Amino acid sequence: MQEIRQGMKDGIPIALGYLSVSFTFGLMAVSVGMKWWQAALISMLNLTSAGQFAGLEIMVTGGTLVEMALSELVINIRYALMSLSLSQKTDQSFHTVHRWAVGAGITDEIFAVAMNRKTDISRHYMYGLIMLPYFGWLAGTLAGALLGDVLPEMISSSMGIAIYGMFIAIIFPKAREDKKIFMVILIAVILSCGFRWLPAVNRLSSGFVIIICAVAAAVIGAFWDLVCEKKESERIN
């Protein structure tokens, strides 16, 4: 019970952040011709920002199912990395059936907050953590779909930055404390800027770019750790 409550508390800021992003999704879905309940169904069954925006585009332009599957695969494959990473931090309470259930709720922000926890995570904590963001995601979608036109354009535009503000709030304090994490983030950022701004490579999809940048930066960091450890053990011997 304590764990569920702690999870829910940690989920509040994520839920509020999601309201703004899913609001934009609902707004957009209706504006390209979807029904409000279709937008809501998409949000309930997907719970992913970039993937939903891309999927919406494919539906509207009449893309093929293969195209849909491939786009979702590429954009969301980062979740596979996160799932692997997160399963390193789970305690014994995670039986198979709970893994199948919690697996549906692993998003960028939920993952980041769970990883930030000092101790191993229990299934109760994860259920608590996922609950409010899930309803926030749905509520925002509904609100955007049903009453999107009421909000002045400037406010809805400013809300687009919220999700990135949350990411910064997660990575900055860590980068400040740990020089290696700072370097790994810096490498990932430089690569990602390169993919965005350099000609030729800037045609890659954002899902691919994120994977390439993150894996490259984490591999460099991990190699660096190996080298440092070796030096350390040589010094002791």
Partner 1 sequence: MEWQTFLRYLGVMAGVTYLIRAVPFVLSRGKITNPFWKSFFDYIPYAVLGAMTFPAILYSTDGVLSAVAGMMAAMILAYWKKGLLTVAAGACIVDFLIQLFV
By CB under 8 A, what part of segment 171-190 binds partner 1? 171-176, 180-181, 184-189
Residue 54 to residue 59: CA distance in whole angstroms: 9
Q: Whole-number minimum distance, CB 87 to partner 1, in Å?
A: 4
Does the footprint of partner 1 cover residue 86 (CB under 8 A)?
yes
Cβ proximity to partner 1, 1 vs 152, nearer residue: 152
Does the footprint of partner 1 cover residue 231 (CB under 8 A)?
no
Vertex 18: Cα angle to 63 and 38 (nearest 5): 40
Does the footprint of partner 1 cover residue 27 (CB under 8 A)?
no
Burial 116-145 (b: 16+ CB within 10 A, else e): eeeeebbbbbbbbbbbbbbebbbbbbbbbb
Backbone angles phi, psi at 90, to 5 degrees: -85, 150
Residue 186 to residue 133: CA distance in whole angstroms: 29
Cβ proximity to partner 1, 1 vs 67, nearer residue: 67
Residue 34 to residue 57: CA distance in whole angstroms: 11
Residues 107-146 that bind partner 1 (CB under 8 A): 108, 111-113, 115
Q: Whole-number minimum distance, CB 30 to partner 1, in Å?
A: 13
Does the footprint of partner 1 cover residue 2 (CB under 8 A)?
no
Does the footprint of partner 1 cover residue 226 (CB under 8 A)?
yes
90 forms beta bridges with: 121
Stretch that binds partner 1, among 1-9, 37-45, 128-136, 140-148 (CB under 8 A): 37-45
Residues 141-170 that bind partner 1 (CB under 8 A): 153-155, 157-170
Stretch that binds partner 1, among 1-9, 77-85, 127-135, 140-148 (CB under 8 A): 77-85
Residues in contact with partner 1, counted by CB under 8 A, come to a total of 101
Cβ proximity to partner 1, 1 vs 64, nearer residue: 64
Does the footprint of partner 1 cover residue 197 (CB under 8 A)?
yes
Cβ proximity to partner 1, 96 vs 119, nearer residue: 96
Residue 55 to residue 74: CA distance in whole angstroms: 12
> Which one, of 171, 162, 141, lies nearest residue 56 by Cα?
141
121 forms beta bridges with: 90
Residue 78 to residue 210: CA distance in whole angstroms: 8
